[in-house]
A and B are shown apart, each in its own frame.
Chain A
Amino acid sequence: MTSREQLYRRFDVRQQQLPRYVVWELTLACDQRCTHCGSRAAEARDGELSREEALDVVKQLAAMGTFECALIGGEAYLHPAFLDVVRALKAHGIRPTMTSGGRGITKALAVQMAEAGLYSVSISVDGLEATHDLMRATRGGFRAARSALEALRDAGVRVTANTNFNRLNEGDLESLYEVLKEADVRAWQVQVTVPLGRAADRPAMLFQPWDLLTFLPRLAALKERAWKDGVVVQPGNNLGYFGPEEMLLRSPAPGMSDHFQGCQAGKQLMGIEADGAVKGCPSLQTSDYVAGNLKTESVHELWTRPSAMDLTRRRTVDDLWGFCRTCPFAQRCLGSCSFTAHAVAGRPGNNPYCHFRAKTLAARGVRERLVLRARAPGQPFDCAEFDIVEEPIDAPDPRPPTPQQLLRRFQH
């Protein structure tokens, strides 16, 4: 037996930049109208990739060394070639995974997905039943998500879950964990809702940066508890950064020392929109970061020629601004998540959604508040404009109460 210790499923941050991990919006058609959806998914885009075009993209991804491809939407299963794409990915040695709201995943479809070779599915669950159905604007959405988890698990597909946290559902954090654990979910991806797409239309739903002062420690405590239960709670790239709990939050197992390594958009990650537009990350703003289109250029050309794909490849501390420019973690963090920073600050390189930043400002007796200046135009992956206002840490909170706060007031 080898003496090599246990290995972990992580990216090696190699010199060679390749689209190892691809997130592919197969269609923008969706069977839900979630109030926080960054892509404003509803109907299919004009000119979505056909079956033949999609299967050709799969071949190109294989040639580029893609390791894993997560199919998203809309709902990927609403694309007529969904199962063919899954089969093709598998046949070309690319791990096919999926992120889904799960509303249309019947037992029969789950079996078809398993037979096609789908590796795992992450079901989006946005809170306990009342909150989930409110955020997804779908009565019965929570039960549908639970049914999808069950159908997939019974069909032999690995199931995980993901949740966008914000003011509406942050109170559900610990209770939702128990629900997911009961549903046999063994890995849970946690992110914060960013003002992108429909979420940008609802600023009262969003966390203010100071909310991270309480949310991150709660999440860290939950993660420690989850490890004992055999469940991995893993923060997404837009949740952090470099507070006291950084290593705990970022590491996939106890005793590890992971930390945030900067935005990987265009370095190891690539996003594809349903009409063939390519970005360094699927969540990047379409208006600013589309490198080109797969209908006119190959994956290789789009990845290698100078384009918006270069967003993070040459980023240095000199590209940062505001608090992030002078942060002691600047060299490692490089301004954190690019699409999040752009969504709240207008361009990458300065992100107020940061635990270390909120904590540092709180020690000085101040906090930052995002104030809506201009509404989003209403396109997929679009942004509103915000001012970042510094105010005393104990200033009144001008946000309207959440339904849970109203309920608590009523009960008292």
Chain B
Amino acid sequence: MQQCQKCQGLVPETSSSCPNCRATSRWWKTPLAMLGAGFATVTLSACYGAPCATTITLPDGGTAVDNPNANTSCGSVDCRTPELTEDGGVNSSWEWYCSPHLPSKDAGVEDGGTDAGP
């Protein structure tokens, strides 16, 4: 998908003109955020609830903030030590936040990349 700089609408790969404003391809640009995307994403809690910020300690000791725009804090997750449940399994929340940063087949790149740029 590209973005039309004239109307800000999205343009599918198969379109010859912007579906929203009819502008031609000279107006189109791939958004920077799409160029860097390793996999397609949709917002969490799309139907119910809403996001808040989580501080993630990465395996190399660095930190990242999940949804930093939200002023509401969700607490923190440390990817250096797996969090276990009472049953001895890995905590789903921990897995959710940390799996993209761990050297595993689930690290993201192979997950589709449908939004990746050229």
A12-B39, A186-B70, A254-B69 known; A93 and B46 CB under 8 Å? no
User: What CA separation (Å) do A219 and B83 show in the bound complex?
Assistant: 40
Q: In angstroms, how far is the closest chain A Cβ from the Cβ of B45? A: 7
A122-B50, A158-B72 known; A2 and B66 CB under 8 Å? no
Most chain-B Cβ atoms within 10 A of its Cβ — which of A70, A191, A260, A328? A328
Residues of the B chain whose Cβ atoms lie less than 8 Å from the Cβ of A256: 33
A1 contacts B by Cβ under 8 Å: yes
Q: In angstroms, how far is the closest chain B Cβ from the Cβ of A116? A: 15
Contact at A68–B70, with CB atoms within 8 Å? no
Contact at B85–A93, with CB atoms within 8 Å? yes
Using A122-B48, A264-B46 as known contacts, list a sample of 12 further A-B pairs with CB atoms less than 8 Å apart, ordered by residue number in A: A5-B64, A93-B93, A120-B50, A186-B70, A187-B70, A232-B70, A234-B46, A236-B47, A244-B20, A252-B43, A331-B14, A332-B12
Q: State the main secondary structure of chain B at its contact with A.
A: loop
B residues contacting the other copy or chain, number (CB 8 A)? 71
A149 contacts B by Cβ under 8 Å: no
Residues of the B chain whose Cβ atoms lie less than 8 Å from the Cβ of A281: 47
The 7 closest A-B pairs by CB, nearest first: A2-B62, A187-B50, A93-B91, A257-B33, A253-B69, A257-B31, A160-B50
B residues with a Cβ closer than 8 A to A are 1, 3-4, 7-10, 12, 14-15, 19-21, 31-34, 36-37, 39-52, 54, 56, 58, 60-74, 83, 85-87, 89-96, 100-101, 106, 108, 111-112, 114-115
A70-B48, A97-B49 known; A247 and B3 CB under 8 Å? yes
Contact at A93–B43, with CB atoms within 8 Å? no
Q: In angstroms, how far is the closest chain A Cβ from the Cβ of B93? A: 5
A21 contacts B by Cβ under 8 Å: yes
A411 contacts B by Cβ under 8 Å: no
Produce 1/0 per residue, A1-25, CB < 8 A to B: 1101111111111110000110100
Contact at A6–B93, with CB atoms within 8 Å? no
A-B contact count (CB 8 A): 242
Q: In angstroms, how far is the closest chain A Cβ from the Cβ of B103? A: 14
A residues contacting the other copy or chain, number (CB 8 A)? 84
A residues with a Cβ closer than 8 A to B are 1-2, 4-15, 20-21, 23, 59, 62-63, 65-68, 70, 72, 91-95, 97, 99, 119-120, 122, 158-162, 186-189, 191, 227, 230-232, 234, 236-237, 242-248, 250-261, 264, 269, 281-283, 328-329, 331-332, 356, 359-360
Name the CB-closest residue of B to A61: B92
User: What CA separation (Å) do A14 and B33 show in the bound complex?
Assistant: 19
A14-B39, A23-B48, A70-B49 known; A2 and B87 CB under 8 Å? no
